Structure 1
Amino acid sequence: MTASHPPDILCIGSVLWDIIGRSDQSMRQGSDMPGRITRLPGGVALNIGMALSRFGLAPALLSAVGRDPEGDELITACAVRGLITDFIYRSDDLPTDRYMAVEGANGLIAAIADAHSLEAAGDKILGPLSDGRLPQPFTGAVALDGNLTIDLLSQMAESPLLARADLRVAPASPGKALRLGPFVKAGRGTLYVNLEEAGLLCQAEFTDSRAAATGLLTRGAARVVVTDGSKPATVADPDSMLTETPPPVHVTRVTGAGDTFMAAHIAAERSGIRAEQALHRALEATALYVSGETRI
C-alpha cells in the first residue's frame, strides 16, 4: 500500500514470515504430534500493524525486508492487508527474516526468532524519520518492538525525532525484555510487557500484574501495561492504576496475542475513550483472537 497521506501510526521492528506448527493436543519437549503447519506474514511490528489496520488505522512499517522472492511476497502480503510499505528498507544482501514456533493445546512449546537481518540493518530503517519522507518531528503514535539492537533502542529512547511521538514499546519476547531498559531509564513511552518480562526488567519476581506495574514505575518507567495471560492485566502511571481480568475463553492460538492486545489498546486510546474502557476493549479483542474468532 502506498502512502497518500501521513500514516496514523508507525510500526517499527520485525516484519517477517511466521512459520507456525500447531497441534490440538497437549505437547511437551520431544513430542511428535499430528497438526498443521502454516506460513503467515508476521513479526511483532507487522502483527501490530495488521491489527491496527483491522481497527481502522493507517499504519506504516519501518523495518528491513530482503530483496529476495520471500521479501517481494511479504511486501505484497503487507500491502494487501492495508499496511503502508513505502518506508521499509529493502536490502540487496540481507535475507528476509523468519520466525518459527510450535504450539500445542497447552500453549507455546518453543519458538525461534531469526531477526538477524533487521539487527544488521540497524539505523537504516529509521531513514524516513530524518530524510523528510515523514513529518519532522513525528507527532503521531509509534509502536516499537524489541527486535532492534540495544544500541538502536537506546538511540531511539533519547532521539529528538521521537520526542513528541506517542511512543508505545514492547520487548517482542522475554528473551529481549532487557532491551527495554533504556526506555525505563529515560522515562519515555508506554511499555507493554507480560509478568515474566516485567520481572526480568526489574530483576525481581512478581505475583501479579499490579505488583509488576508498581515495580516498573519505581524503577523510572513513565507508564506501563502489564499482562498475565488469563489473570488480571494492569495499566499504570505515577497517578493511576487500573486492573481488569480478561474474559475466559478456549485458547486455540497464542502467537500474536500480545501484539493484538497492544494494537487494540493503542487503537482504543487513540480514539479518545476513557482508560478503563480502553483496557476493557483490548482484553475483549485479545480474547476473540486467542479463541480463533478473529481472522489473521
Structure 2
Amino acid sequence: MTQNSDILCIGSVLWDVIGRSASHMRQGSDVPGRITRLPGGVAMNIAMTLVRFGMTPTLLTAIGSDPEGDELVHACKRLGMDTTHVYRSQDLPTDRYMAVEGANGLIAAIADAHSLEAAGAKILRPLIHGPLGYENTPFEGQIALDGNLTLDLLEEIAVSPAFARADLRVAPASPGKAERLSPFLKHGRATLYVNLEEAGLLCQREFADSETAARALLDRGALRALVTDGGNSATVASAQAVITQKPPSVLVTRVTGAGDTFMAAHIAAEANGASIDEALTRALHAAATYVSGETPL
C-alpha cells in the first residue's frame, strides 16, 4: 500500500455544489438560502470522514487536468488524503454534483460523474499493474468502493483476482444506481452499505424495516449487509449475527453525505477493534452528529 495509507477509497471525487434553505420546499420553490461549493463525491465523503477518525485514505479516481481539477487535487492533499495514484485525464472535465436541500430534506440532485465513468478501468491500474497490487499478488487491505463506477467495471471488480484478498466495502452512489451493486450479490465478495430504498431496489421488493432488508440481502448472496432507515433503525447482518439499533434523535439540518459518513465511521470503528455492536453504535452516532450540522462541512 502507499506509504502511511490505511485504506483505498475508489470512486467519485468531485465538486459538490449544494444549495440549502431553512424553508420547506417543493417543486418550483424560490427561497433564500446558502449555496456552497465543496469537495465531494461518495469516495471523497468517505475519505474525509476517515481522516476525521485518524485514518489516511488513498484515492483512486478520475479528476480532470482543468483548473477545477487542480484545485480539487490540492484540496484533497490539504485534507490529508494521498492523491499519488489519481488518474488525471487530459480530455475529460472534472466531475460535479449539484443538490438542493430544504428543511424537509433533499429536494433534487444531479450527479455528473461522466468523466469517472469514461475513465473506467484506468483508475484501477495501480491495483492491477502496481504499485498497490498485482493480479498474482493482490492488494490485501481495506477498500471503500462507490457505485458511481459503471456496471461493467463493478462486475469486473466483483470477480477480478486483484480484489480477491481485499476487505471490500461497497455503497451505491444513490438509489438510482443501487442496482449496479448486484454483481456483489452474485459473488459474495463485499460488505454492502445501503439504505432501505436501495436494499429494496437490489432485492426487487419493498421492505418495512432495516432488519428484514438486511436478512434479504444475505439471502441473495451478500457477504455482509448494513441497512439504514433514516431515524428509524439500522441493521448489520452477516452469517454470524444480525444486530439492529435505533439511531439517536437529532434535528436534521443536512442530508447529503450522511450515508457516506455512516459507512466511513463504521469502517474506522472496526479498524480500531470495535465489536459488531459497538461499531454500529459509533457509526449511527457519527451520522446523527453529521446530519445535525455539528461537524465541519
Normalising by the smaller structure, the TM-score range is over 0.9
Please tell me the residue identity of whatever aligns with 1:122: G
Please tell me the residue identity of whatever aligns with 1:178: E
Distance 2:212 2:2 in 1: 44
Deviations 1:224-281 (A, max 9, x none): 0000010110000122100000000011110000000000000001111111000000
Q: Which runs of 4+ in 1 moved over 3 A?
A: none
- Give the 5 Å matches for 1:187-202: 187-202=188-203
Please tell me the residue identity of whatever aligns with 1:207: A
Conserved in 2, the CA contact under 8 Å of 1:64 and 1:89?
yes
The secondary structure found in structure 1 opposite 2:59 is strand
Distance 2:274 2:43 in 1: 24
Deviations 1:23-49 (A, max 9, x none): 001111111110000000000000000
Please tell me the residue identity of whatever aligns with 2:199: A
Superposition RMSD on alpha carbons, in Å? 1.0
The secondary structure found in structure 1 opposite 2:80 is coil
TM-aligned CA deviation for residue 214 of structure 1 = 1.2
Question: Which residue is equivalent to 2:119?
Answer: 121
- Give the 5 Å matches for 1:132-211: 132-135=130-133, 136-211=137-212
- Give the 5 Å matches for 1:1-296: 5=3, 7-135=5-133, 136-296=137-297
Distance 1:200 1:90 in 2: 33
TM-aligned CA deviation for residue 4 of structure 1 = 6.5
Please tell me the residue identity of whatever aligns with 1:110: A
Deviations 1:82-105 (A, max 9, x none): 010011000000000000000000
Distance 2:240 2:131 in 1: 37
Distance 1:132 1:57 in 2: 22
Please tell me the residue identity of whatever aligns with 2:110: I
What is the identity percentage for the equivalent residue pairs of Structure 1 and Structure 2?
70
Please tell me the residue identity of whatever aligns with 2:244: T
Please tell me the residue identity of whatever aligns with 2:146: D
Distance 1:294 1:4 in 2: 28
The secondary structure found in structure 1 opposite 2:182 is helix
Q: How many corresponding residue pairs?
A: 294
Please tell me the residue identity of whatever aligns with 1:52: L
TM-aligned CA deviation for residue 132 of structure 1 = 1.9
Deviations 1:140-161 (A, max 9, x none): 1000000000000000001111
Please tell me the residue identity of whatever aligns with 2:150: T
Distance 1:261 1:31 in 2: 30
Please tell me the residue identity of whatever aligns with 1:232: S
Conserved in 1, the CA contact under 8 Å of 2:2 and 2:58?
no
Deviations 1:131-183 (A, max 9, x none): 22214411110000000000000000011111111100001100000000000
Distance 2:88 2:156 in 1: 22
Gapped regions of structure 1 (runs ≥ 5): none
The secondary structure found in structure 1 opposite 2:140 is coil
Conserved in 1, the CA contact under 8 Å of 2:62 and 2:123?
yes
Conserved in 2, the CA contact under 8 Å of 1:6 and 1:134?
no
Distance 1:255 1:80 in 2: 22
Distance 1:25 1:210 in 2: 33
Distance 1:241 1:29 in 2: 40
Distance 2:293 2:243 in 1: 27
